[in-house]
Structure 1
Amino acid sequence: MSERAQLLLVEDDREIARIVCDHLRKEGYGVAWASTGREGWEDFKLAEYDLVLIDLMLPEMDGFTLCKTIRKASDVPLVILSARSEDASKIKGLELGADDYVTKPFSLDELSARIASQLRRYRRYRLDPHTLEPTHYAHGLSIDYATKSVSLAGDLLQLTPKEWDLLSLMAKHPFEVFSKAALYEQVWQQTDEYGSATVTVHIKSLRAKLKDSTRSATYIQTVWGEGYRFIGEIL
């Protein structure tokens, strides 16, 4: 049984969405439907979902972009539903963080089996005690995602919620460059032309607490003209 798992379907074809939603609800899932990529991202930010089903050809924000955006914010399973059967699309989707790829037309029973498999794997991952252990980095930094705590050389750092969100987002995606606009959208969950100044202030405060130098960074490096990236070395 699904244990009333909550699913988000992002599909612009109304008839396909109706068929899939009706089937999955009969299977015991809670299902929300979004008809555009942008609507799907907004819905994802407003509620807790156990799995997201994403069509590739979406208006406003395509499925590839939606996968990448959600994956930066969450480890929730992502399943692509697409009429594109070529290997290049499958590879790109998986590289952007999708966990599975189902080609249209598909069997509803096969879709149910794929969803159940991803949910089992995700639940095992979340219950795995090894995923709750702190991550230790060179020069004394430790990040504990289970308790949302950070220490440096054994001393607990008093981070604000936004500082924690910035650090954990970048640390979970090491060496990936985040623009100020992307950080503002991910952490503050809104777009704003003045958001870059807010990000700059919070990054400066976070660096001060990490005793990190702008010129010779140990943890948060400035990529001039592009943004920031986390470069901490895992021990």
Structure 2
Amino acid sequence: MEERIKILIIDDDIDLGRLLVNCLRKENYQPIYAENGIIGLEKMKKSKFHLIILDIMLPEVDGFSVIRKIREVSNIPVIMLTAKSEEGDKVRGLKL
């Protein structure tokens, strides 16, 4: 049996998280949802993922801090979701 691609979704917007999970399941991916960065980092310790979809504007620990922690242990691809429109934020995210 072929292993499905595991995708970690870290986003505090539960409705968006559900939508992403449902869409990815329909495409035969294995999505795992975390409602904040702390939970997302814990899930990363317990399982190997092929991709992370990460919201930048998270409560408690923002997405920039989460990606810094991810980069300490992994070069996993990260797709960043953000409502931020400032160029400096985009450049900062791409550098991370």
TM-score tier, shorter chain, comes to: over 0.9
Please report how far the alpha carbon of residue 72 of structure 1 lies from its aligned counterpart in structure 2 after TM superposition. 1.3
- The DSSP-based 3-state class of the residue aligned with 1:57 is coil
5 Å matches for 1:51-90? Answer: 51-90=51-90
What RMSD in Å do the two structures reach over aligned CA positions?
1.0
One-letter amino acid matched to 1:43: K
Please list the CA deviations of residues 77-136 of structure 1 after superposition, one character each: whole Å capped at 9, or x if unmatched.
01101111221111101111xxxxxxxxxxxxxxxxxxxxxxxxxxxxxxxxxxxxxxxx
One-letter amino acid matched to 1:95: K
Give ranges in structure 1 of 5+ residues lacking alignment.
97-235
Tell me what 2:34 maps to: 34
Counterpart CA distance in 2 for 1:88 and 1:25 is 34
Larger Rg: 1
Tell me what 2:43 maps to: 43
Please report how far the alpha carbon of residue 41 of structure 1 lies from its aligned counterpart in structure 2 after TM superposition. 0.6
Q: Which has the higher contact order (CA 8 A, sep 6+)?
A: 2
Counterpart CA distance in 1 for 2:53 and 2:30 is 13
Counterpart CA distance in 1 for 2:60 and 2:73 is 19
Runs ≥4 residues deviating over 6 A: none
Tell me what 2:16 maps to: 16
The normalised TM-score by structure 1 is: 0.39
Percent identity of the aligned residues?
39
The normalised TM-score by structure 2 is: 0.93
One-letter amino acid matched to 2:60: E
Give ranges in structure 2 of 5+ residues lacking alignment.
none
Tell me what 1:136 maps to: none
Q: How many residues align?
A: 94
Counterpart CA distance in 1 for 2:10 and 2:19 is 13
One-letter amino acid matched to 1:86: E
Counterpart CA distance in 1 for 2:11 and 2:27 is 19
- The DSSP-based 3-state class of the residue aligned with 1:80 is strand
